[in-house]
Structure 1
């Protein structure tokens, strides 16, 4: 076995001299690993030419010798590929804080003497808190502006046209209240589609640019198992556990949990 490092004596012009492990030699010119020594030179012969001098020879315990060169041959086996570095995904940035200390929607002074009403095209550039139900024609929350629904009451905002959010829109009520954004005059027959471009006829909620939308829903049980098998025509469902957040008027979907019975294979056709 070769040592970790092979120290190669310098080659002299006009005829070199060979050095072996354990022999006295001139100061080393390069450091070589055992793997590099095995890759260098041919398998037959004890000497390799480099310029006008002879390459040093390293003896192996198993007999024979191979010339050691100062660099790896181009046609030798390549080094094993490095394992790709594992990159951890960056954590989602924390949402910006919601400022609910803006002026009140119901304050007429903030609107120049009269709050907006049905048909009004509203543009918000400052911080506004919706503290009463309202109906408008359209709404644009510009960059730097915000509309925050008051969290201590149930509120509804109706818009006959688009609501575009370039700033901040937050509906985050307490558990005892509900916030609603409604578009009562939508006509789906006018829908054209414009990709990321706001289209007046495609009435709805648009979040564009650096806009931030926060919608906090009430916690509720997503699904629960039935306490017993259900049959077609049952009008009462017994559940294995009491659900949280279910309200009268909610729609329920009943799905099977047993494995489906495979259909019998048709008999083979013979000719």
Structure 2
């Protein structure tokens, strides 16, 4: 009797606990239905990235070396003064079609040099970059450091499309309808810039690409703002995963091998068991 009584108490306590949870859950759902949360400015004005198609998209996509070189030029001329690329080495640029001599010159002429440390870990000088060095980090002591761009297309949803949209979204303004509900966005705070593709709508970074022809492409491509933003987005897809093309080729080779192996296995099965009655 005592054991049965204890079990009954356990079931009652457990059932009561589940009932309380169900009531709390229903209360939350009912509250959301009757009093939905107020729409925020970020939700009302934020835009999804524009559609962007790159040569590297899809399972059969391949990097366009000419586009990657143009993207690297945009990074070098426009982005490198503020944003690091510290997970990429200069010698990796050979994958974009640069020669050893070109890579060596790019490394040597790079604006930020490599620090030289003494035995106690202090810096006592600088030296020229070598092809084996990674791109040097950019520091802004006391003011915060802008994000490193090495993995930016992996760290942001819609990666390349996000980069392209952000760079070309500075001229877009809030709609009149949105400003009726959020009049505070009629004036952008000092030191900030409205951009509907940025998470909280106002970004401290000034528009990097301000006019066509800001960089000079050597292959004859017209350097419009849209073209430059597309090229640098493609380049940052490569920095985030430089082995993307090789990985895909290996994947297709493995898939082909497994298909052939499957046919051979099935053929062997039919041959071995052909004379056996089931």
TM class by shorter chain equals: under 0.3
| TM-score w.r.t. length of structure 1 | 0.16
Q: Larger RCO: Structure 1 or Structure 2 (Cα < 8 Å, ≥ 6 residues apart)?
A: 2
More helix by share: 2
| TM-score w.r.t. length of structure 2 | 0.16
| Greater gyration radius | 1
